[in-house]
C-alpha cells in the first residue's frame, strides 16, 4: 500500500485495500460508535463489504443506497440524507463513509461537511475518475439546474481509500471516461504520464492492477501537491480545471445525462487547446499530442448536435467566470498550462463549432 499526505488527510492506494477499510476507519477515528454509509445502487456490494468490516469492529452502521447517476447530485437528495441521519441518531463523533463514484463522494462530502457543522469523513472511491480526481482535494458540492457544483464547501476527509481492484467491475464507458482526467494530469503537470499511457495502453485497457495502481498514485500525487499549495482555489489549484470550463458547460447543457463527466472533460480539453492554438499560446504539436492520447484512450474529441448556445449560457455561470468574463486554463505545452486567461465569447463559440463539426 502507498500513502500520500494531504492537509491532514491520508490518501491510501493499494490493490485489495477495500477489505481493510473498516479496520483503518476505526483506527483513525477510535471515538466513533456509529457509522453512516452512503452509496449508490451500483456500488452497494462494496459498501456492504465496508459495512461488515465496521460492524466487526463494534460500530453500529447504517447504510443508505441512493439511485445512481449525476441527477442525484442535488439539494433534494441531500435533504433526504439529512433526514436519514437524524432518524439514525448520527452525532458529531460518528463516521460518515461515502462509497462510490464522484457523485457519491461529492454529495457525501457536502452532507458530511454540513451535518452538525462537520462529521469525520472517509471516502472509498470506486471509479477511476473518483480515484484520480473527484475524491481528492476536499471539494464537495451539488448541482443546480443552472450549473454544476454551484452549491458546495471545502472539506477535507480524514482518509481516502483507493483500491484499483474495484475498477475491474466498471462498465466500459465509465472506465474510459475516467481516462479523461488522467490525460488532463499529463497535460497540466506531468508530461511523462502521456508517453507512459501510450506505452501501456494495452495494460490500461485490460485494467492490469499494477498499471492502474501506478496511474492512480501518479495522478493523486499531482493533485495532492497542487491542493497542498492552494486548498481553496485562490491561484495554482485552478490548473486542475483544465477542460472543465467547457466540460461543465457541456454537462449542464446536456441535462447531466448526455455526457459522462470524463467525456465532457475530453471535449473541453480539445476545445480549450484549440483556443490556445488560436491565441498563439500553444503550438499545433501540443493539440496533436493531446488529440492522439484522447483518441487512443477511446475518448471523444468531436460530437454532433451540440447545443452551443446552452453551453455558453452554462459557462457564464461557471465559478471560474469573473465579472461576467470567461476565464480559462489553457495549455502552453504538454505538462504546462496557463490559468486565468480571459477569452472572448466569439473565440469560445468558434472552438465549440470546431468540436461539434
- Specify the CATH number for the domain of residue 69: 3.40.50.1970
Give the C-alpha separation, 53 to 43, whole Å: 16
Judge if 177 and 264 occupy the same domain. Answer: yes
Residue finishing a domain among 169, 189, 219 = 169
Its domain, for residue 117, covers 2-169
**Catalytic residue check, 320:** no
- 45 among known catalytic residues: no
154 and 232 inside one domain: no
Q: What is the pLDDT, as a whole number, of residue 319?
A: 60
Q: What is the pLDDT of residue 244?
A: 95
For residues 149 and 179, state if they share a domain: no
- Identified catalytic residue from 51, 244, 260, 327: 244
Give me the pLDDT at residue 119, please: 98
Q: Write down the pTM of the prediction.
A: 0.92
Residues 299/302/303/305 CA torsion (nearest 10 deg)? 170
Q: Which of 214, 241, 263, 291 is catalytic?
A: 241
| The one catalytic residue among 223, 260, 270, 327 | 223
Q: Of 169, 195, 226, which residue constitutes the final position of a domain?
A: 169
148 and 204 assigned to the same domain: no
Question: pLDDT at position 91, please?
Answer: 96
Residue of 24, 51, 73, 139 marked catalytic? 139
CA atoms within 13 A on the CB side of 342: 4
- Written as one string, the DSSP assignment of 283-308 is -HHHHHHHHHHHHHTT--S--SS--H
Q: Is 218 a catalytic residue?
A: no
Question: In this structure, what C-alpha cell is assigned to residue 39?
Answer: 452509496
Closest CA to 73 of 109, 119, 45: 109
> Is residue 264 a contact partner of residue 258, using CB atoms and an 8 Å limit?
no
- 3-class DSSP assignment, residue 327: strand
pLDDT of residue 252: 87
Total structural domains in the chain? 2
Active site residue 260: no
Same domain, 177 and 312: yes
pLDDT (tens digit per residue) in 245-254: 999 999 988 8
The whole-number pLDDT of residue 175 equals: 97
The question of whether 80 is a catalytic residue gets the answer no
Residue 162: its H or E element:
strand 159-162
Q: List the catalytic residue out of 261, 263, 272, 291.
A: 261
DSSP strand E in 7-157: where? 9-13, 34-40, 60-66, 95-100, 121-125, 139-144, 147-154
Of the residues 248, 263, 291, 327, which is catalytic? 248
What local confidence, expressed as pLDDT, does residue 306 receive?
83
pLDDT lower than 50: segments of the chain: none
Residues 199, 194: Cα–Cα separation, whole Å = 9
Residues 237 and 334 in one domain: yes
Whole-number pLDDT of residue 323: 63
Examine the domain organization and report whether 216 and 294 are in the same domain: yes
Please check whether residues 157 and 179 belong to one and the same domain: no
Residues 6+ apart with CB under 8 A from 314: 146, 147, 148, 248, 249, 252, 253
55 is a catalytic site residue: no
Catalytic, 244? Answer yes
CATH code: domain of residue 185: 1.20.1090.10
Q: Which is it for the CA torsion 213, 219, 222, 226, positive or negative?
A: negative
Strands 34-40 and 60-66: parallel
Residues 155 and 221 in one domain: no
Kindly state whether residues 107 and 198 are assigned to the same domain.
no
Residue 92, SS3? coil
Does one domain contain both 158 and 243?
no
pLDDT tens-digit map of 140-193: 999 998 888 999 999 999 999 999 999 999 999 999 999 999 999 999 999 999
Nearest to 26 by CA among 13, 17, 35, 37: 35
The three-class DSSP label of residue 234 is coil
Query: What local confidence, expressed as pLDDT, does residue 182 receive?
Result: 98
Do residues 132 and 205 share a domain? no
Q: Given the C-alpha cell 471516502, which residue does it identify?
A: 123
Active site residue 184: no
- The contacts of residue 87 (CB under 8 Å, 6+ apart) are none
The residue out of 138, 169, 200 marking a domain boundary is: 169
325: which DSSP letter? B
Amino acid at each position: 500500500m502507498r500513502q500520500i499526505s494531504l492537509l491532514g488527510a491520508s490518501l491510501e492506494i493499494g490493490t485489495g485495500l477495500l477489505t481493510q477499510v473498516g479496520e483503518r476507519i476505526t483506527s483513525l477515528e477510535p471515538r466513533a460508535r456509529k457509522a453512516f454509509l452512503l452509496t449508490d445502487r451500483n456500488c452497494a456490494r462494496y459498501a456492504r463489504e465496508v459495512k461488515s468490516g465496521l460492524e466487526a469492529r463494534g460500530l453500529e452502521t447504517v447504510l443508505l443506497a441512493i439511485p445512481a447517476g449525476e441527477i442525484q447530485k442535488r439539494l433534494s437528495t441531500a435533504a433526504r440524507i439529512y433526514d436519514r441521519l437524524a432518524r439514525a441518531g448520527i452525532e458529531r463523533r460518528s463516521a460518515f463513509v461515502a462509497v462510490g463514484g464522484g457523485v457519491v463522494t461529492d454529495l457525501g462530502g457536502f452532507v458530511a461537511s454540513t451535518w452538525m457543522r462537520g462529521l469525520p469523513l472517509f471516502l472509498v472511491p470506486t471509479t477511476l475518475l473518483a480515484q484520480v480526481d473527484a475524491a481528492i482535494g476536499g471539494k464537495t458540492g451539488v448541482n443546480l439546474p443552472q450549473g454544476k457544483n454551484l452549491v458546495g464547501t471545502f472539506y477535507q476527509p480524514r482518509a481516502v481509500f483507493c483500491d484499483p481492484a474495484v475498477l475491474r467491475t466498471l462498465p466500459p464507458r465509465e472506465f474510459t471516461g475516467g481516462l479523461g482526467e488522467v490525460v488532463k494530469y499529463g497535460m497540466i503537470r506531468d508530461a511523462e504520464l502521456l508517453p507512459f499511457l501510450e506505452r501501456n495502453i494495452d495494460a490500461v485497457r485490460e485494467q492490469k492492477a499494477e498499471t492502474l495502481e501506478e496511474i492512480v498514485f501518479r495522478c493523486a500525487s499531482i493533485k495532492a501537491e497542487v491542493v497542498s499549495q492552494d486548498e481553496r482555489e485562490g491561484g495554482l489549484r485552478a490548473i486542475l480545471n483544465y477542460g472543465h470550463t467547457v466540460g461543465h458547460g457541456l454537462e449542464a447543457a446536456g441535462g447531466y445525462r448526455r455526457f459522462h463527466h470524463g467525456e465532457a472533460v475530453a471535449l473541453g480539453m480539445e476545445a480549450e487547446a484549440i483556443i490556445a492554438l488560436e491565441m498563439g499560446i500553444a503550438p499545433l504539436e501540443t493539440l496533436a499530442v493531446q488529440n492522439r492520447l484522447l483518441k487512443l484512450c477511446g475518448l471523444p474529441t468531436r460530437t454532433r448536435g451540440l447545443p452551443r448556445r446552452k453551453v455558453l449560457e452554462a459557462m457564464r455561470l461557471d465559478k471560474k467566470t469573473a465579472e461576467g468574463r470567461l476565464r480559462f486554463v489553457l495549455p502552453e505545452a504538454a505538462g504546462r498550462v496557463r490559468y486565468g486567461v480571459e477569452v472572448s465569447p466569439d473565440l469560445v463559440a468558434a472552438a465549440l463549432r470546431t468540436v461539434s463539426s
